[in-house]
Each structure stands twice: as structure tokens, then as C-alpha cells.
Structure 1
Amino acid sequence: MAVLLDTAALRPQDRAEAFYAAMMSASVPSRVEHEDPNGDVHARMDFWQLGAPDLFRNEGSGIRLVRTPKHIRIGAPERLALAVQVIGSGAFSQAGADQHVRTGDLMLVDLTAPYEYAWSSDGASQAFQIDYDDLGLSVETVRAAAQRLPSSPMYDLVLHHLTVMPAISDSLHGTQAADMLGAATTQLVRALLTSAADDEHRHPAMADVLFARITWYARRHLTDPDLSPGRIAAAHNISLRYFYKLFAEHNLSFEQWLIGERLDGARRQLASPESRQRTIAAIAARWGFLDPGHFTRRFRSAHGITPQEWRRQNEKPGDQR
């Protein structure tokens, strides 16, 4: 987590300007109006990078954010934000639709278009921000979903997910799992918007969410010797046939996907100073390759270099001592 702003450390006369600068760095150009600019202006902004997407939390005194057509011309990143009101209540307006956002409500903000958002007294919201390109949905689909979010069967799941994300993101800081969390959240948001926009797309959207859950589960258990399609299918209450169908729909073979993930895990461990005393064969076995020769051939085919050469390249002075 990065703390973008904490006005408690600033003089009162400097807080409004600092708030504007922090808001512009975390989100998009807009006009900021404080409810009581001459009173107790206070705020804290936190930011988590989760691969390509990010999570942004803003908590503080009453504000009004106005993104005008002029701001769009200044800069209109192809992004959207799915936000949850975590403290207080707010008012959100976009594309001619007004929404009273209560504590625990979701709101979808198309950052390519003008909008207004405000809360009075103290409030807080946290938004998952993502590029349209990474989401894989058209602007039309997103706008169709904006007013129909509660109709989606995904609504409560995504709401809970976004609400607990700050604590989870903190615990994953600096790990590969942080990027995986961003990717999994992207799939959840995609499923929410697709199902809200068009009932006909609900089943494919659910399949995408299930696939994301399956790959998340498998990555958490890569070093388990008994990790198998049957075990994974049973853990997700699906048939083995449907399990293989999900991978086929993503143009993947589960076996080849699993080998690739385990090779990546072994590659990371081989480069780790903490594993210098472990033999290559022991590391290979930990990642499911019981035949060292087979592991070497697979590793070289995937990475163009042998495990020994890779380890040597990543040695630092003093590693041999």
C-alpha cells in the first residue's frame, strides 16, 4: 500500500491543494469542491497497484468531484472504476442517471465520460480501476451495465470482494499473488458487468469466473504432489468433463498449463539466494519433476537455457561462500 495523502501531517491552509494533487495522481482530471473549504478539510488516500489494475481508497470530509467535457478533452484514459461506498452515503450522476449511493452500494464510473460524485460530512469510497483493454468489454456493454448492477447475481460477491480487498492487498504486497489478485478481480468485474448488461451473457460470464477460481486454486497448490484434475474439479463441485471443457474454451491444455506454471515456480526458486544450498534435483522434485533429466529438457525448452545455467546467471558475489 502507498499512502498518497494524509492531511493530518499538513497545515490546514495546504490541505485543499494537496488533496487536488493526490486525487489527480490517483484518478483522472476533475474539479474538486470541498464542502467546507474554510473549515476542517481532512482526507487520507491509499493506493494499491495490482498488476495492470489498481485499488484506490479515499476517506475524508465532504467533497464534490465534477468531471466535465473539458476535462475529458484534457485527458480521457480508456478506464473505468467500480467503487464501493464504505462510509457514509453519496450522490453519483452520469449519462443523465442519478444514483443515491448508500453505505455498501456499488457504483460504476465510466472515466471516459463526464460525471459528478459527492458526499457530505465524512465519507469514504474505494475503487477498483482498470483499463477497458484489460477488461475486454466494449464501452457500450459497460454503459448498459451501469444502471443494472444490482440485477446481476454477481453483485453481492463482487461487493464483498471489493470491501475486503485492502486488507488482502496489504498481506500480498510485493508478491506475485498481488498481480494474480488483480487479474482475478478483473474477471469478477467482467462477469458482473456482462451479466448486468445482458442476461444472455450470464452463463459465459460465470464460466470465466469459475475458470479464474480454478487457476487461482491450482496456483496456490502447485507444489502439492496430489494436485490433479480430479481433485480440482471436486473442490469446485464440477465434473471432470466440464473441467477439461473450461480449459479447452481458453485454448489451453490443463496438463501443459500446469507444467508451465510449475516450471515458472522452479525458475523463481532457482534464482532465489535462499535456495542456493538446495540441489537442482531437489528443487525440481518440489515442483513435481521427479526425473532430473526430464526437468532439464522441459526447462530448456521453455526458457532456452538449462537450470544450471539459469542458476549461474542469477548468482551474486558471495553466493558461493
Structure 2
Amino acid sequence: MVTVVDTAALDAGDRRPGRVADLLEATMSSRIRFRDPTAPPRVRLDGWELGGISVMRLDLTGDVALLRTARHARADPEPVVSLTVQEVGTARQEQFDARRVVTGGQLTATDVSAPYEYRWSGRGVCRALRIPAARLGLPADTVRRAAPGLHAGPLHDLVRAHVLALTRDAGRLSREPQAHAVAAATVDLARALLASAVGPGRPAADVLGETLLTRVRVYVGQHLTEPDLDAERIARAHAVSVRHLYRLFAAAGASLEQEVITRRLAGARAELARAGGRPVAAVARHWGFSDASHFARRFRAEYGTSPSGWREQAALRPDGGP
């Protein structure tokens, strides 16, 4: 993680609205305007790179407008699409002659290669992913056509949760070997989100079919600790049959049931490695194992030691980790 701007760490002179705007403009390639030139804003902007995707979190208190002009857009080396979740506060977005109110928790898509305006007053927090448009493989006008119906689209909640999780864990993920795989899955989700929001038709159906496995795996990850997560529920959430779901995983050389168990065991293993945690039985229940003995057998088969043995080993390591 790189903390790009943090006004709490600046001298008083550098917290002036004009100076803070300059610092933000150097990174965000937008014109930043604070309505009150005398009221110092409170700002923290963090950024990461994850497999060719830019990830950012902006926490800003003030009356601010982010203005992306045609000149800014022309200066970019390649077209970019931004997926943004307004985590805190209410914002107003304008692009392609369309105005919309963005409430807390809502996901929006922005074509960063075209002029736009994004503003709020008071405290606002947003989390965003910036994806090169070429990686999406969609027609150039897709964002313009998808944006009005994005919040009501079938994948809004799934992708919103993914953006929030990704921005929360980006620092750790960017250092891990699977960073590029996570980025590729994110691109698939973005493609499916935009294509489905445009409306029914052959292009949307094709993209949804191509990205089904990715979407199922992301859905599983988001609901991994819920004990009622089973094939029937997963199939229903994706409007496919259980038989189709099993065929999908078999074609990828995988098993749905085994993947769920393996990921639950990995989550439990990571939790057990943290100091001062819950009893083993409580950890097992949290990760979807109703029977502690069954959990212990599966854990030993996977990792060659018991859950309590793994916890003891982890406690002896300086970093408490594997």
C-alpha cells in the first residue's frame, strides 16, 4: 500500500485546500475543487497495484468536486473503466449528460476516458478499481449504456461486495502469488456486470456464460462461513441447475464440494494461526463445520496436523503465520 495523501501528516500550510487539491490532482488526473477555500479538508488517499489493476480508497471530509475534463482524458495512455463503491456519504455523478445520485453502498461505473464530474459534501469514503478497457473486451459505449441500470442489475451486489473486499485486502493480495489470478477474476466480474446491465441479448448471454465459473467462485468466497451454502443455493443464486453447476466444475477439472471444503479449511487454518483466537470448536462452526470431529479429521488430512497442533506451531513462529 502507498499512502498518497494524508493531511493528518502534513504541516498546517500544506493542509490548505489549494495545496491539498494540488496533491490529489497529481495522482488522480482530475481537477479537484473545494468549495470553501479557507476550510482545510481532511483527506487520506491510499493506493495499490494488483495484477495490472489500480486499487484506491479515498476518505475525504469537505465540500469537493472531482472534475475530469477532455484534456485529462486525452492525456491518458489508454482507456480506463472505474468501478467505484460509495462506502460512506452521498455523492452526485454526472457523465454523458446523465446525472445520478450515488447513495452509500452503491456501485457505479465510470468511463475514465471521457469527461465526468463526481462530488460530495461532508464526509465521503469511496473505494475504486481502475481497469484498462482493453482487458474488458467490450464495445466502447458499454459503460455509457450500462451505467443507468447498474444499481438494479443482477450482479450489482456480488460485484460491490467484491470491490469492498478487494480494496480491504489489496495490500496483502498484491504481495501474494495469486495476485494476477485475483485481477483476472476481477476483470471477468467487471465484464459480466457491465454486459448484464446493458440488457438482455446475445452479447450479455455470451459474457455471462463465459464468466459463470468466476462468478460462482467469488460468490462462494463471499458466503464461505454460512452453513447453508450448498450446491442448491449456489445454483439458485446463478439461475442454473445443480447438474449444470457440477458439469461446470468438472469441465475445469475441479469439484464444487471439495473446493468449498478446501477454502473453508484454509480460512480456519488462517484464523487458528492468529493469537488469542476462539476455541477450536468455535472456529470450526464459524467456517461452516457443524461437527468439530469431522472438522478435525478433514484438517489433519489436509495439513498433516490437528487444528490445536497447528495453533501451537503457529504460536511459536515470530510472525504467528504459516
- Shorter chain as denominator, the TM-score bin is 0.5 to 0.7
User: Closer, same or farther in 2 for the Cα pair 1:173/1:35, shift >3 Å?
Assistant: same
Shift in CA distance, 76/35, structure 1 to aligned 2, threshold 3 Å:
farther
* Aligned residue in 1 for 2:39: 39
TM-score, normalised via structure 1 length? 0.65
Paired residue for 2:49?
A: 49
Which 10-residue stretch deviates more, 90-99 or 236-245? 236-245
CA distance in 2, matches of 1:89, 1:78: 27
Tell me, yes or no, if structure 1 residue 208 matches structure 2 residue 213: no
Q: Which amino acid in the other structure matches residue 113 of structure 2? A: T
- 2:3 equivalent in structure 1: 3
Q: Which residue of 1 aligns with 2:115?
A: 114
**Map of 1:59 onto structure 2:** 59
Rate the CA distance shift 1:9–1:245 in 2: closer, same or farther, 3 A.
closer
Distance in 2 between the 1:99 and 1:76 partners? 28
Q: Could you say what the CA RMSD is over the residues aligned between the two structures, in angstroms? A: 3.0
SS in 2 for 1:194: helix
The within-5 A match list for 1:187-226 is: 187-200=188-201, 201-213=203-215
User: Partners of 2:9 and 2:166 in 1: how far apart?
Assistant: 26
Q: 2:244, 2:75 → 1: CA distance?
A: 51
Deviation track 1:234-287 (CA, whole Å, cap 9, x = no partner) reads: 99656677766789xxxxx746xxxxxxxxxxxxxxxxxxxxxxxxxxxxxx9x
Change (3 A) 1:61 1:36: farther
- Output the amino acid matched with 1:14: D
Deviation at 1:189, TM superposition (A): 1.1
Relative to structure 1, the CA distance from residue 241 to residue 188 in structure 2 (aligned partners, 3 Å threshold; closer, same or farther) is closer
| C-alpha distance after superposition, 1:20-76 (max 9, x if no partner) | 334432x3x221101323112220011121101121111112211111223233436
Structure 2, unpaired ranges of 5+: 220-230, 236-240, 254-301, 303-322
Which residue pairs with 2:97 in the alignment?
96
Partners of 1:47 and 1:54 within 8 A in 2: yes
Alignment of 1:155-174 (within 5 A): 155-174=156-175
Q: Report the count of equivalent residues.
A: 237
In structure 2, the CA distance between the partners of 1:180 and 1:97, relative to structure 1 (3 Å rule), is same
Once the two structures are superposed, the pairs formed by residues 171-320 of structure 1 within 5 Å of their partners are 171-200=172-201, 201-213=203-215, 254=252
Give SS of 1:153's match. Answer: coil
- Distance in 2 separating the partners of 1:97 and 1:43: 28
Partner Cα distance (1:192, 1:162) in 2? 12
What does residue 14 of structure 1 align with? 14
Structure 2 contact 49–55 (Cα < 8 Å) conserved = yes
Amino acid at match of 2:5: L
How far is the alpha carbon of 1:143 from its aligned partner? Answer: 1.6
The verdict on how the C-alpha distance between 1:93 and 1:209 changes in structure 2, with shifts beyond 3 A counting, is: same
SS of the residue corresponding to residue 101 of structure 2 reads strand
Amino acid at match of 2:37: P
Give the 3-state SS of the residue equivalent to 1:54 in structure 2.
Answer: strand
User: Rg: which structure is higher?
Assistant: 1
Q: What is the percent sequence identity of the aligned residues?
A: 32
Equivalent-residue separation in structure 1 for 2:149 and 2:83 (angstroms) = 13
Structure-2 separation of matches of 1:159 and 1:254? 26
Deviation at 1:216, TM superposition (A): 7.8
TM (normalized to structure 2)?
0.65
Q: Point out where structure 1 has 5 or more consecutive residues left out of the alignment.
A: 218-232, 248-252, 256-285, 287-321
Contact 1:61 1:123 in 2 (8 A): yes
1:98-119, Cα deviation, whole Å (9 max, x unpaired): 0111111122111111111111
Could you tell which deviates more after superposition, 236-245 or 3-12?
A: 236-245
CA contact (8 A) 2:84 2:108 kept: yes
Whether the 8 Å contact between 1:158 and 1:192 is mirrored in structure 2 is yes
Residue pair 1:76, 1:112 contacting (<8 A) in 2 also: no
Give the whole-Å Cα distance in 1 for the aligned partners of 2:34 and 2:244.
57
Return the alpha-carbon distance in structure 1 between the equivalents of residues 82 and 169 of structure 2: 19
**Residues 6, 45 of structure 1: 8 Å contact kept:** yes
**Conservation of the 8 A alpha-carbon contact between 1:46 and 1:57:** yes
- Aligned partners of 1:76 and 1:111 also within 8 Å: no
1:316 is matched with none
Higher mean C-alpha displacement, 187-196 vs 46-55: 46-55
SS of 2:51's equivalent in the other structure is coil
SS at match of 2:158: helix
- Confirm or deny: 8 A CA contact 1:7 1:44 kept in the other structure: yes
Asked if the contact 1:89–1:123 (Cα under 8 Å) also holds between the matched residues in 2, the reply is yes
